[in-house]
Amino acid sequence: MQKWLSIIGIGEDGLAGLSPIAVSCLNKAQIIFGGERHLSMLPPDDNREKIPWKSPFTTSITEITSRRGQAVCILASGDPLCYGVGATILKDINISEITIIPAPSAFSLACSRLGWSLTDVETLSLCGRPVSLLQSYIYPGAKLLILSEGKNTPGHVAEILINRGYGNSQITVLEKMGNIEETIITDIATNWQEENIALLNTIAVECIADRGIVGLSRFPGLPDSAFHHDGQLTKREVRAVTLSSLAPLPGELLWDVGAGCGSISIEWLRSDRRCCAIAIEQNSTRLNYIADNAAALGTPNLQIMAGKALEVIPNLPAPNAIFIGGGVTASEILENCWNVLLPGGRMVVNVVTLAGEQRLYQWYEKVGGNFTRIAIQRAEPIGKFLGWKAMSPVTQWVGVKN
């Protein structure tokens, strides 16, 4: 189909900063969509139809697709495909119908001001997202660029840094980049008190850990102490082996069945930010633990489903991987999970009882797979000395659905 939709990135310098091809696309448009700020950049005597974004945003998407075949232009901030409207539009309209002309993104502009290499920087957006998402990006020496939701976001970022033991981290707020009123404000997190901040701002952080603070790795096997739990926790060593068996790939979906405190699904999400996970748990106290741990460890996108697994899973999207850490003796749980697992998907089951092992062996005779016995001993004080104390051995079954 002929290209009928153009998405033009526009900066704080307005129409004057547009390239000739962007100006040409804008001039040809019969209908212009965009935020109020962008639409106000057009000349007062421009009488074309101008449509501001509506809430919910899906309403605007529907309106744009209804104009298919007409000359439509969208004005967007910076690079439309960098946490912008372009990525959302492409879910409904094929790129063959669209011309996208980006302007420098806020990240590129910030790097040019700070002298940072974009390839060495962690980037995230807190626009319309929980600020707790920041938690998984913090580690000693990290350089972060954050798209801010508004004037209060830098204060929230400072608070999280202080609470994590990174109070000496340097925060730089870059306001209205590309505008003649561009401003840069810098201070350390513990001293942050700036309140007179523009709504449009980008935050840069150089993470500096306080003395004695140890960073939380994204590699599976966080310390047990990183999680709030009531004892229903896959221990660190077993968790690392389990995540290795689940083998997460970017964009894949995990079902964590009988999630306990959510440690497996949370570490799955921490392995790659494009991963998705659903934690299924029926115990109300543990549901609270899952929510608290997800926020504290930077995975607020973890979907938490309350209820019994057999009642919940029929309504869930098909997963790429399934972990069952409890309730394996429940009738039909293995069959129901295996049947919806996508081709090439992995199912991992951990048990610690003889009844669980018996059930797994019966299942193994049906579909195959492989077994591993995980036996861990930790050194603990025995009087004045150290001795080995064994944890309950875990039997792990792994199956790949071909």
- Write down the pLDDT at residue 157: 98
Q: Is 128 within a domain?
A: yes
Cis peptide before 154 (omega within 30 of 0): no
> Shortest CA distance to 222 belongs to which of 283, 135, 109, 311?
135
Q: Is 215 within a domain?
A: no
> Shortest CA distance to 326 belongs to which of 257, 266, 263, 398?
257
Query: Does residue 367 register a pLDDT over 90?
Result: yes
Q: Is 213 within a domain?
A: no
Task: Give the global pTM.
Answer: 0.92
> Going by DSSP bridges, is the β-strand pair 377-382/385-390 parallel, antiparallel, or unpaired?
antiparallel
Query: pLDDT (tens digit, 9 = 90+) per residue, 71-92?
Result: 999 999 999 999 999 999 999 9
Q: How many whole angstroms separate alpha carbon 275 and alpha carbon 198?
A: 33
The structural domain count of the chain equals: 3
Query: pLDDT (tens digit, 9 = 90+) per residue, 93-119?
Result: 999 999 999 999 999 999 999 999 999
Q: How many whole angstroms separate alpha carbon 229 and alpha carbon 292?
A: 10
Co-location of 22 and 92 in the same domain = yes
Q: Is 217 within a domain?
A: no
Residue 37 identity: R
Q: How far is CA 144 from the centre of its chain?
A: 15
Query: pLDDT (tens digit, 9 = 90+) per residue, 321-360?
Result: 999 997 888 889 999 999 999 999 999 999 999 999 999 9
Angle between helices 263-271 and 236-246 (to 10 degrees): 50
- Write down the pLDDT at residue 326: 79
Q: Is 126 within a domain?
A: yes
pLDDT (mean) for 192-202: 92
State the chain's mean pLDDT as an integer: 96
Query: pLDDT (tens digit, 9 = 90+) per residue, 46-75?
Result: 999 999 999 999 999 999 999 999 999 999
Q: How many whole angstroms separate alpha carbon 14 and alpha carbon 40?
A: 10
Within 235-282, strands assigned E span 253-257, 276-281
Q: Are 56 and 49 in contact (CB under 8 A)?
A: no
Q: Is 219 within a domain?
A: no
- Write down the pLDDT at residue 54: 94
Q: How far is CA 108 from the centre of its chain?
A: 21
Residues spanned by the domain of 186: 107-206
Q: Is 326 within a domain?
A: yes
Angle at 296 between CA 268 and CA 222, to 5 degrees: 50
CATH number, domain containing residue 21? 3.40.1010.10
- Write down the pLDDT at residue 2: 87
